[in-house]
Amino acid sequence: MSNTSNRIAGIVVTHGRLAAELIVTTVGILGEVEDLYSVCSEDYGDSLIVEKIKGIMEKYKEEDVVLFVDYSGGSCFLNCARATVGIKGVRVISGVNLPILLDFVTKRNVMNYKEMTNHLIKRGRDSINGTL
């Protein structure tokens, strides 16, 4: 596990419809994307969100998964934590934004899992600025 020959799946978990819209925008920029899923709190209650995340992760038992969540400490973050208890090969990254998802899709096949997830966190931070 955790090498560039494995598929790395992404699951975007957010409040409202943000996850779905981020993926639609990512596809609009990069074209068709595989192994990237949205779970929107608007569609499910907490227990169903946890089950939905677990169901997606079940498809990737032998691969790594990154969970992208809108903000740390919120209900979506807590549901990700509940869904990943005892599961290896999963990292939860909060503060998801478009630059993080674009880099995830374009770099997941060229970087190893740890390097890529560290890069995504840095990319997310670096994409927030007030220079203009």
Q: What is the pLDDT of residues 62-121, one digit of tens each?
A: 889 999 999 999 999 999 999 999 888 899 999 999 999 999 999 999 999 999 999 999
User: How far apart (Å, rounded) are the C-alpha atoms in residues 65 and 126?
Assistant: 23
Domain coordinates in residue numbering, the chain: 8-106
The architecture of the domain spanning 8-106 is 3-Layer(aba) Sandwich (3.40)
Token pair for 18: 């943000």
pLDDT confidence of residue 59: 92
DSSP structure class, residue 14: E
User: Which stretches does DSSP call E strand in 26-119?
Assistant: 36-40, 64-69, 90-94
CA distance 10 to 22: 12
Each residue of 11-70: pLDDT tens digit? 999 999 999 999 999 999 999 999 999 999 987 889 999 999 999 999 998 889 999 999
Instruction: Please give the DSSP secondary-structure letter assigned to residue 131.
Output: -
Query: Is the full-model pTM beyond 0.85?
Result: yes
Please list, in sequence order, all residues whose beta carbon lies within 8 angstroms of the beta carbon of residue 24, skipping any fewer than 6 positions away. none
